[in-house]
Chain A
């Protein structure tokens, strides 16, 4: 497949003519991204009647703009109030929130936005150039290889619990146990559902996510006067530009970090069934391993914030590549986009880039435009967003709980899920008070079922032969990289100590 990049300038001009679609979709995307539970996928489903009434080109640009902007918007509550809006932003608070509570919220937001815009823009352009090669990734990464990719993410449990390994592992195992609640993927035999039918399809992710992070955080912050930590209570967030500029500079000087974590997200995004949550965990874990200052991760480290944000925005363009080239959506949002394009009679495949360049290249062009627009629109607002940190907790905590309960209700519209969020809120609160890492629990809840899914599928295909785990060349290379990455950091420390 050959990509004719000479058409791009005219496509940019054509796509810009859809400004009336891009601007409202961008604003909407930021808002829905920032509200926990209101993912891009849900929003696009709700707006399907509107999208279907548009032309294929306008509909695609509209959906892409929402998708892109919501990814960035999800970082706002993750950083300011420790509430990742979606699973893709679950690794963002690991360093973003410590920055906020130490009075550097405005800077953290600027870092997050710059990494998202820079990483997203770069990976979008790279996606355009690498389409022929990236579209082949899905053909080579099957269940066996995906098991190793999942283990990259799960190994983050050990990484983030370096301070107290035992507690970290207990939290991680607890999360994995929760992740295995529900019917198994092969025989659909229910396990640990306590008789609740609502748990047959696993513990619902959004309620678990908002419960563990948001509700438990609301319980914790209510013990303080403001979100800022007690020691920094005196810090007033000055609504000036300096912190924003500092955040932008902090990110740009680490441009290499943005590039490689973004590219990691792009490649993971191409794999069907992977997605932003895995990309951000893997990027965070790899970033820490190869960092010169791994001990600073989890304390409000700039690199620890750049990695997940750049990676999850890299996923955004990656997920569209297999959809447009081979008709295989890389993720849930891309699958919904496929429905709309099929409705308009769009035929996926390499021919699409010649027969209808605005639909083929258009999503990437629209994505690039959206990123530029996001940068211009949202960076000046960081100074105002960060004022949330000085709002008295007697106001902010009830707002957090109310929004997150609504957010946990949205995906399935079950009142039961609001109960799940509260239960996880209590679990999260106890974990925080006793020194267990809620992120370690969450990694188990998110990645555990995926690991099980790929593991059981690989075993089923190989008819129970465990050696299938080492049956693929790509898989074996990934195994070596996994082991190397796990031992790289301790080895480096040991060598440095000599």
Chain B
């Protein structure tokens, strides 16, 4: 299945902002608003990572504007640990199913988590409903490396086993590297270094030959060159001039492997019980995407607005299914 992700550029943002004004007017007409009693308390959001990371940054940018359209504040709670597992388990155990309690996670690595080891809850008991970004997985090298292009990497990988730093094995960027190796016949040895910072350090200090991470975590960094993205196009060619779209160039037959695909999720039972509230969440989320204040918030958070990806339940499900399918295919390599 192919993901139909809607990426927004600056121009589209401006165009959509006028639509936002109209939508805002409509929602202010008495009687037109759905679920009038909703929300009646703060939107409690479970975040399965530490405060101060990428998810926190994206959450604050989006919820800061969303709260204006929803008419109530968001309150984040951080539940880091076990690569997101603690946050999800806590959410499923404690969150109310009245549409006031959401989870905000990074779909890619967290869904791959379930491929590697199933959680204690039924996977159908929650679903992602609003995706906010799509940060493609990237291959990067130290600028001092003798390998300057992906072709160099593949040629070298056919001569010897290349060490590849990665945040963790069960990660979309790792998966992309494994697929590329399988398709081209190169030999790679993934070295999980626990987190983006350590992964960058592994490459910068020369402990590994190259690394794979979400593009935003390495883009514009000194002494780092991005050679390719596990995607079908290069969104920011001026910020990664050497990068190529690996999925297309090497005909990997992969969907875009967004290594950072942050999204709001909710208990399925909440959707079943309160379809009107769900509709209101979606309606106000659309207003948020269209609001120029959101672009400003993303810019202020120093995240590239080109990686904003407006997606809803269908797109999220497609991503969930795709990453699960590829993950299952390479499960042995992800779990040893």
Question: Which residue numbers of A lie inside 8 Å of B, CB to CB?
Answer: 45, 48, 138-139, 142-143, 183, 185-188, 190, 197-198, 200-201, 272-273, 326-329, 335-336, 339, 342-343, 347-349, 412-413, 453, 457, 460-461, 463
Per-residue CB contact flags for chain B residues 204-245 toward chain A (1 = under 8 Å, else 0) read: 111110000000000001110000000000000000000000
Residues of chain B within 8 A of A327, CB atoms compared: 200, 204, 221-223
Q: How far is the CA of A459 from the CA of B241 in the complex (A)?
A: 35
* CB-based contact B52/A339 at 8 Å: yes
B78 lies within 8 A of chain A by Cβ: yes
CB-CB contacts below 8 Å: B285-336 with A: 302, 335-336
- With contacts A187-B169, A200-B85, A327-B204 taken as known, whether A412 is within 8 angstroms of B197 at the C-beta atoms is no
Residues of chain B within 8 A of A186, CB atoms compared: 169, 192, 336
Contact of B82 among A183, A272, A457 (CB under 8 A): A183
Q: How far is the CA of A329 from the CA of B189 in the complex (A)?
A: 25
B280 lies within 8 A of chain A by Cβ: no
- With contacts A48-B52, A335-B197, A342-B302 taken as known, whether A197 is within 8 angstroms of B82 at the C-beta atoms is yes
- Closest partner residue, chain A, to B208 (CB atom): A461
Residues of chain B within 8 A of A461, CB atoms compared: 163, 189, 191, 207-208
Q: How far is the CA of A328 from the CA of B223 in the complex (A)?
A: 11
B111 lies within 8 A of chain A by Cβ: no
* CB-based contact B205/A348 at 8 Å: no
* CB-based contact B51/A45 at 8 Å: yes
* CB-based contact A200/B86 at 8 Å: yes
B20 lies within 8 A of chain A by Cβ: no
Most buried by A among B81, B168, B194, B302: B81
* CB-based contact B222/A460 at 8 Å: no
Q: How far is the CA of A206 from the CA of B313 in the complex (A)?
A: 40
* CB-based contact A336/B189 at 8 Å: no
- Known pairs A139-B206, A461-B207 / 14 extra A-B pairs, C-beta < 8 Å: A138-B205, A139-B205, A187-B335, A188-B170, A197-B82, A200-B86, A201-B80, A273-B201, A326-B205, A327-B222, A329-B197, A339-B52, A453-B194, A461-B191
Q: How far is the CA of A142 from the CA of B205 in the complex (A)?
A: 8
Residues of chain B within 8 A of A48, CB atoms compared: 52
Residues of chain B within 8 A of A190, CB atoms compared: 82
- With contacts A348-B222, A463-B161 taken as known, whether A185 is within 8 angstroms of B194 at the C-beta atoms is yes
B271 lies within 8 A of chain A by Cβ: no
Residues of chain A within 8 A of B223, CB atoms compared: 326-327, 349
Q: How far is the CA of A117 from the CA of B179 in the complex (A)?
A: 54
Most buried by B among A326, A342, A457: A457
Residues of chain B within 8 A of A326, CB atoms compared: 204-205, 222-223
Residues of chain B within 8 A of A343, CB atoms compared: 302
- With contacts A45-B52, A461-B163, A461-B191 taken as known, whether A347 is within 8 angstroms of B86 at the C-beta atoms is no
13 contacts between A and B (CB under 8 A): A45-B51, A139-B206, A143-B207, A183-B82, A185-B192, A188-B168, A197-B81, A197-B85, A197-B86, A200-B85, A201-B81, A348-B222, A461-B208
Q: How far is the CA of A187 from the CA of B161 in the complex (A)?
A: 20
* CB-based contact A200/B189 at 8 Å: no
Q: How far is the CA of A187 from the CA of B171 in the complex (A)?
A: 12
- Closest partner residue, chain A, to B206 (CB atom): A139
Q: How far is the CA of A349 from the CA of B204 in the complex (A)?
A: 12
Q: How far is the CA of A336 from the CA of B78 in the complex (A)?
A: 18
State the Cβ distance, A474 to closest chain B Cβ, in Å: 13
Q: How far is the CA of A336 from the CA of B163 in the complex (A)?
A: 28
* CB-based contact A412/B80 at 8 Å: yes
Contact of B169 among A188, A339, A453, A463 (CB under 8 A): A188
Most buried by B among A185, A328, A343: A328
Contact of A201 among B82, B168, B192, B336 (CB under 8 A): B82
Q: How far is the CA of A143 from the CA of B170 in the complex (A)?
A: 22
B89 lies within 8 A of chain A by Cβ: yes
* CB-based contact A200/B81 at 8 Å: yes
Residues of chain A within 8 A of B153, CB atoms compared: none
* CB-based contact B116/A457 at 8 Å: no
Q: How far is the CA of A493 from the CA of B177 in the complex (A)?
A: 56
Q: How far is the CA of A200 from the CA of B120 in the complex (A)?
A: 15
State the Cβ distance, B165 to closest chain A Cβ, in Å: 10
B198 lies within 8 A of chain A by Cβ: yes
Q: How far is the CA of A378 from the CA of B174 in the complex (A)?
A: 50
* CB-based contact B201/A460 at 8 Å: no
Q: How far is the CA of A335 from the CA of B201 in the complex (A)?
A: 11
* CB-based contact B205/A272 at 8 Å: yes
Q: How far is the CA of A412 from the CA of B50 in the complex (A)?
A: 8
Residues of chain A within 8 A of B204, CB atoms compared: 326-328
Residues of chain B within 8 A of A187, CB atoms compared: 169, 335-336
Q: How far is the CA of A425 from the CA of B280 in the complex (A)?
A: 50
State the Cβ distance, A373 to closest chain B Cβ, in Å: 28
Residues of chain B within 8 A of A349, CB atoms compared: 222-223
Residues of chain A within 8 A of B86, CB atoms compared: 197-198, 200
- With contacts A138-B205, A461-B189 taken as known, whether A328 is within 8 angstroms of B82 at the C-beta atoms is no
- Closest partner residue, chain B, to A412 (CB atom): B80
State the Cβ distance, B188 to closest chain A Cβ, in Å: 12
Which 9 residue pairs across A and B have the least CB separation, nearest first?
A200-B82, A142-B207, A187-B336, A197-B86, A201-B81, A328-B201, A272-B201, A349-B222, A138-B205
Most buried by A among B89, B191, B205: B205
* CB-based contact A412/B205 at 8 Å: no
- With contacts A45-B51, A272-B205 taken as known, whether A198 is within 8 angstroms of B81 at the C-beta atoms is yes
* CB-based contact B81/A412 at 8 Å: yes
- Closest partner residue, chain A, to B78 (CB atom): A413
B83 lies within 8 A of chain A by Cβ: yes
- Closest partner residue, chain B, to A272 (CB atom): B201
Q: How far is the CA of A404 from the CA of B221 in the complex (A)?
A: 40
* CB-based contact A347/B222 at 8 Å: yes
Most buried by B among A143, A326, A412, A461: A461
State the Cβ distance, B201 to closest chain A Cβ, in Å: 5
Contact of A336 among B52, B205, B335 (CB under 8 A): B52
State the Cβ distance, B203 to closest chain A Cβ, in Å: 10
Residues of chain A within 8 A of B186, CB atoms compared: none
B193 lies within 8 A of chain A by Cβ: yes
* CB-based contact A188/B116 at 8 Å: yes
Residues of chain B within 8 A of A347, CB atoms compared: 222
State the Cβ distance, B107 to closest chain A Cβ, in Å: 18
- Closest partner residue, chain B, to A348 (CB atom): B222
Q: How far is the CA of A272 from the CA of B204 in the complex (A)?
A: 11
* CB-based contact A273/B198 at 8 Å: yes
* CB-based contact B222/A188 at 8 Å: no
* CB-based contact A197/B200 at 8 Å: no
